[in-house]
């Protein structure tokens, strides 16, 4: 393809396609639906928000007997796509401001070496959520004002409260409404799986304990104390996917201090 110098897939919880086009780097969300999952004929090539939610619920239902990690590996990329659709809907009247603000924030984060989600810093998803939240709190403002408010808002944010664009209650209602849109025989099993996939405070803490290996310690020592600091919920930035996920999960005690330090300069 003309202008493309590299194009490859990067694996992970949410796979990406890395593209270099005329010298510019792009990350494309890669959504893969297993061919053995029968899809409804009414789904269009370009899914809207409602169709995406129906498709996600259908996939969860069809995979409900499989291991939860297998379900998560299929659902998370599609959930990321759904998150982008939801943010685009919220920013429909402010899309130019949103796009400009997000671009400026990405350039700033990269120039300050704090743009790498896998290493506990910012990534495209949590910056998108934070930029969207900033605009929702400061409508019809200039880019300069929005940028200033971004730093003020999130350096003073009470991080015991998650950054939300969509109420978690809405997702519970969405799951309950699925009973009308899907032919579900084991409805309670479906709801149970949905709840296990959704972000919540307790599951987030338990996952962080597993990541830092806290359950492997039989005695309390300085190293365990240090790891417990990292395992605490730091920056819960909830992407409005289906299921909702903490896009700030990898931010830990050390990287949180670095992020706040850079934002206060």
Q: For 118-177, what is the HEC assignment?
A: HHCCECHHHHHHHHHHHHHHCCCCCHHHHHHHHHHHHHCCCCCCCECCCCHHHHHHHHHH
The pLDDT confidence band at residue 213, using thresholds 50, 70 and 90, is confident
- The string over 157-177, giving b where at least 16 C-beta atoms fall within 10 Å of a residue's C-beta and e elsewhere, is bebeebbbbbeeeebeebbee
Q: If you average pLDDT over every residue of the chain, what do you get?
A: 82
Model confidence at 112: pLDDT above 60: yes
pLDDT at 99: 95
Whether the per-residue pLDDT at 81 is higher than 50: the answer is yes
User: Tokens standing for 262?
Assistant: 């850079």
> Residue 215: enclosing H or E segment and its boundaries?
none
> To the nearest whole percent, how much of the chain has pLDDT over 70?
82
pLDDT of residue 35: 57
The 10s digit of each residue's pLDDT in 29-79 is 777 666 555 555 555 567 788 888 888 888 877 776 666 666 777 788 888
Could you give the CA distance from residue 134 to residue 102 in angstroms, rounded to a whole number?
11
Helix axes 124-137, 143-155, angle to 10 degrees: 110
* pLDDT tops 50 at residue 182: no
CB-based contacts of 24: which residues, under 8 Å, 6+ apart?
none
- Higher-scoring residue by pLDDT: 204, 144: 144
Tell me the per-residue pLDDT of 88-107, one tens digit each, with 9 for 90 and over: 999 999 999 999 999 999 99
Q: How far is CA 103 from CA 75, 201, 222, in A?
A: 27, 30, 41
Q: Residue 16: what are its φ and ψ, rounded to 5°?
A: -130, 155
Provide the sign of the torsion angle of the four alpha carbons 123, 125, 126, 128, taken in this order. positive
pLDDT 10s digits, 2-41: 888 888 887 666 777 888 888 888 877 777 666 555 555 5
């Amino acid at each position: 393809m003309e202008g493309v110098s590299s194009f490859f897939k990067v694996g992970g919880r949410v796979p990406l396609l890395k593209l270099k086009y005329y010298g510019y780097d792009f990350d494309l969300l890669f959504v893969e639906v297993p061919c053995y999952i029968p899809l409804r004929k009414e789904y269009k090539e370009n899914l809207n928000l409602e169709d995406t939610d129906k498709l996600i619920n259908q996939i969860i239902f069809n995979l409900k007997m499989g291991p939860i990690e297998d379900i998560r590996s299929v659902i998370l990329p599609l959930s990321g796509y759904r998150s982008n659709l939801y943010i685009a809907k919220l920013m429909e009247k402010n899309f130019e401001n949103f796009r400009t603000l997000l671009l400026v924030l990405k350039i700033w984060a990269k120039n300050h070496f704090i743009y790498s989600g896998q290493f506990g810093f910012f990534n495209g998803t949590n910056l998108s959520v934070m930029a969207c939240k900033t605009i929702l709190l400061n409508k019809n403002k200039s880019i300069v004002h929005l940028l200033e408010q971004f730093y003020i808002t999130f350096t003073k944010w009470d991080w015991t409260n998650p950054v939300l664009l969509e109420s978690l209650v809405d997702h519970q209602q969405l799951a309950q409404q699925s009973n009308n849109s899907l032919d579900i025989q084991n409805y309670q099993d479906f709801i149970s799986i949905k709840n296990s996939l959704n972000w919540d405070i307790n599951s987030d803490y338990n996952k962080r304990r597993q990541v830092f290996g806290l359950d492997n310690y039989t005695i309390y020592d300085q190293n365990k104390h240090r790891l417990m600091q990292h395992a605490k919920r730091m920056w819960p930035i909830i992407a409005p996917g289906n299921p909702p996920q903490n896009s700030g999960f990898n931010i830990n005690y050390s990287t949180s201090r670095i992020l706040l330090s850079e934002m206060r300069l």
